[in-house]
Amino acid sequence: MPELPDIAAYISALEPRIVGQPLQRVRLQSAFLLRTAQPPVTNAEGRVVRELRNIGKRIAIGVENDLWLALHLMIAGRLHWRPPEAKLAGRNNLAAFDFPNGSLVLTEAGTKRRASLHILSGEEGLHSVDPGGIDVFTSDLDSFRATLTLENRTLKRALTDPRLVSGIGNTYSDEILHAAQLSPITLTHKLQPDEWERLFTAARDTLQFWVDRLRAEAEAAFPEKVTAFRKDMAVHGRYGEPCPRCGEKIQRIRYADNETNYCARCQTGGNVLADRSLSRLLRSDWPRTLEELEALKRR
C-alpha cells in the first residue's frame, strides 16, 4: 500500500503537471470506485486545480469552489501520467482525470476493488475522511507518546493504526522499528523513556529519508514504479537476507495477509521469536481485514 513517502512522491510529481490546470473531465470506468453521491463528480469538472494535499494515505486534489477529490489507493491502486484523453482499455483502468496537458489514470491490479474516490466539499468534507492520526513531522515526542499509549498495543499495530499515526503502513513500520532497534511485538505500555525517544527519532528520520529520496525520483520522472519493496530497505521484504547493521539473517512473522520483517540481533535481544506464537499475538492485536484497519477513525 502506498504510504507517506509514496504519497509525497505522487504529489510532487502531480503539482507541476496539474496545479493551475483545469480538470476538464472525470471518466469513471468502475462503478465501485466513487463512494460519495453528493456533491456530484461533474461539479469538479471545468474547475482549475488549486492545491494538492495528503490526508492520511489519501491524495486530495483541491479544485476551485473548495471541492476536493480524495483518492485512496489501498494496496494495488496506482497513478499514471498519460497523454491527453488516454484510452481506458482493460479492466484494471478504473478512472481518468483529464487535463489539457495529460490524463491522470488510476489503475488497480488484481480482482479486488479496494481503491476509492470521495468528492468532498471544503475543510469539513476533508475532515470527514481523515482518520485523525498525528503527523510525526509536526508533532513532538510528548504528543507522540501520549497518542501511541492511548491503547496498550504492539508497536507494529500502534504505528500502522491510522487513528494514531498518519501515513504509515506495513512497509515503513518495519523500517522504523529496525532503525529504532525495537521489537514489533513490544507493547506500547511497556516502552521505556529512552525507547520512546529512539522510536520517535527513527520514525521521523526514516520517513524523511524516504520522502526525500522518492520526491527526488519523482522530480525526474512520474513515479510509475511505486512498490512496497525497495532495494536499500533495511528489513522490509528482505526475509533471509543479511541485516545491513549486523549481518544476521532477517526474520519474519506472518499474520493475517501480512508479514513483518525484523532482525533478531538488533531488535529482539537475539531471540528468534517462534513464528506461530508471534503470529497469534499480532493477529489478536489486529482487525480482521485491511479494510477494517484503514477504516478506523478517531472519534
Binding site for Zn ion (CB under 5 A): 243, 245-246, 263, 265-266
Shortest Cβ distance from residue 175 to Zn ion (Å)? 13
Q: Which CB atom, from 273 or from 290, has the smaller least distance to Zn ion?
A: 273
Which CB sits closer to Zn ion, 122 or 242? 242
Rounded to the nearest angstrom, the gap between the alpha carbon of residue 215 and the centroid of all alpha carbons in its chain is 15
Residue with CB nearest Zn ion? 243
Shortest separation between residue 278's beta carbon and Zn ion, angstroms: 17
Q: Which helix (H) or strand (E) holds 193?
A: helix 193-220
Amino acid at 72: H
* Closest to Zn ion by CB, 116 or 181: 181
Q: Least distance from C-beta 206 to Zn ion, angstroms?
A: 15
CB of 247 to Zn ion, least distance (A): 7
CA 179 to chain centre: 19
Which contiguous run of DSSP H or E holds residue 158? Answer: helix 155-160
Inter-residue contact 245 to 267 (CB < 8 Å) = no
Closest by Cα among 269, 200, 258, 210 to 234: 210
**118 vs 265, which CB is nearer to Zn ion?**
265
> In angstroms, rounded to a whole number, what is the distance separating the alpha carbons of residues 252 and 230?
17
Nearer to Zn ion, 136 or 263 (CB): 263
Give the separation between CA 130 and CA 77, rounded to whole angstroms: 19
**Over the Cα atoms of the chain, what is R_g?**
20
Shortest distance (Å) from residue 183 CB to Zn ion:
12
Q: Rounded to an integer, what distance in angstroms lies between the CA atom of residue 225 and that of residue 233?
A: 15
Nearer to Zn ion, 202 or 266 (CB): 266
CB of 237 to Zn ion, least distance (A): 16
